[in-house]
Amino acid sequence: MLNCDNESVMEKGGNQSHTRLLKYDLLKVFACFLVIWGHVIMHLYDSDYVSNPIYRAIYSFHMNLFMMISGWFSLSSMKMTSKPFFVKKAKQLIYPCIAWGVFTMLLSDGIKILEDEPLRFTPSNMMSDLYWYSDFWFLKSCFVCYSLAFLGTRTKMKKWLWVAVTLLLSQLIPVFQIPFMYPSFLLGMLLKESKSLMDIIRKYKFAICFLFIIMLLFWTEEAWVGSHELSALIKESRMPVADIFLLRLYRLVIGLLGALSFFVIFDAVGDSVFATDGFRKLSILGKFSLEIYIVHTVVFVELLFKYISFTAISYWPFNLLVVPIVSLIVLFTTYKLIDIIYKFPVLSKLLFAKQI
């Protein structure tokens, strides 16, 4: 999704640029752009964003795509011994959640003091879902997915068996969208390991893209609600359990197909086409997908977006013109902020536990 593996230069930064594949960096930039696009729709227009077909299309697959990329680049971590593995992943994925979570709470509370509103940085909030679940949920999901796969590889079971066992276990973990994220992580991992499986995906790439488009046509607002609001629907008996199960299966499949579609599209285009000065410069952002995810969430979603609204603009001009432009501005502004952070070693160490 974030490309959550050091060897893919989340840690090593530009020093290893000669080893990188442009298509995967650009794929991560594309995924980052989609995340920001969805957040702009969600926060800058006074309407029910779930009713927006563009929002539903983006959110049907974009986090699955991030997780598939993470799985693709996970193999080097899977070769580590247990203690270095968990230390590395906790430092890389959990520490930034804590550091930026505290920073966000303190910053937002500074604003709340000025506005005479209740503070967020309280002991009860620090121990509640507001903090531990909502803030940077994907990084925590990525940590769990890495851990599940790592533990699977450490068993003495055959690959097909530990894959099946960890897939089953993933469906029993109710937090951080693990039931939907882990299958994408595992598929990315298996695609990297198996040339024959990747060849099959390449062979049927047009069929995969076609099926994804067909499924999008039926990804209605009702389907979205039925696949996301599990506890509320069951508690209020608003939908039969069997229907909820089918809709959640639909959400899982459409996420996998969407992630695979763009994965094979970028793979088919390849580095030879992307090897231009413009694409090379743009690909630099792909080295910082984790940082972009965090910084844009804090600076724009948590803070600035609360004071901006485009509701006065008509619905479709907002979606087709304003949203892409604003999303690009946010993407490049976020990258500049990250660049500033990394100019100060103490700051980068404090916020990301690393330097470049």
pLDDT classification of 134: cutoffs 50, 70, 90: low
- CA 182 – CA 293 distance, rounded (Å): 19
- CA 153 – CA 185 distance, rounded (Å): 14
In the chain, count H helices and then E strands. 21, 0
Please compute the mean of the pLDDT values over residues 149-169 and round it to a whole number: 91
| pLDDT at residue 191 greater than cutoff 90 | yes
Residue 280 lies in a domain: yes
pLDDT classification of 30: cutoffs 50, 70, 90: very high
Q: What angle do CA 130, 140, 290 make, to 5 degrees?
A: 105
- CA 16 – CA 57 distance, rounded (Å): 34
Domain of 105, in residue numbers:
6-351
Residue that wins the pLDDT comparison between 267 and 231:
267
Residue 85 lies in a domain: yes
Residue 334 lies in a domain: yes
Amino acid at 289: S
Residue 1 lies in a domain: no
| pLDDT at residue 16 greater than cutoff 80 | no
- CA 335 – CA 353 distance, rounded (Å): 18
Tokens of 325: 């432009």
Tokens of 341: 């952070």
pLDDT classification of 104: cutoffs 50, 70, 90: confident
DSSP letter at 48?
-
Residue 356 lies in a domain: no
User: Per residue in 267-290, pLDDT tens?
Assistant: 888 777 788 888 889 999 999 999
User: What whole-number percentage of the chain has pLDDT above 90?
Assistant: 49
Taken in order 189, 54, 39, 248, is the CA torsion positive or negative?
negative
Residue 215 lies in a domain: yes
Q: Cβ–Cβ contacts within 10 Å for residue 189, how many? A: 24
What mean pLDDT value characterizes the chain? 84
- CA 137 – CA 27 distance, rounded (Å): 21
Burial level of 93, CB count in 10 A (0-12/13-18/19+)? Answer: buried
Give every CB contact of residue 277 below 8 A, 6+ residues apart in sequence.
none
Q: For residues 330, 331, 335 and 338, what is the CA-based torsion angle, rounded to 10 degrees?
A: 60
Q: Cβ–Cβ contacts within 10 Å for residue 270, how many? A: 12
Residue 189 lies in a domain: yes
Q: Residue holding tokens 């969805």?
A: 38
Task: Report pLDDT for 237.
Answer: 62
Residue 162 lies in a domain: yes
User: What whole-number percentage of the chain has pLDDT above 70?
Assistant: 83
- CA 19 – CA 25 distance, rounded (Å): 11
Among 127-131, 216-220, 277-281, top mean pLDDT goes to 216-220
Task: Report pLDDT for 15.
Answer: 40
Please compute the mean of the pLDDT values over residues 150-174 and round it to a whole number: 91
- CA 59 – CA 55 distance, rounded (Å): 6
Looking at the 3D structure of the chain, how many domains does it have? 1
- CA 183 – CA 64 distance, rounded (Å): 9
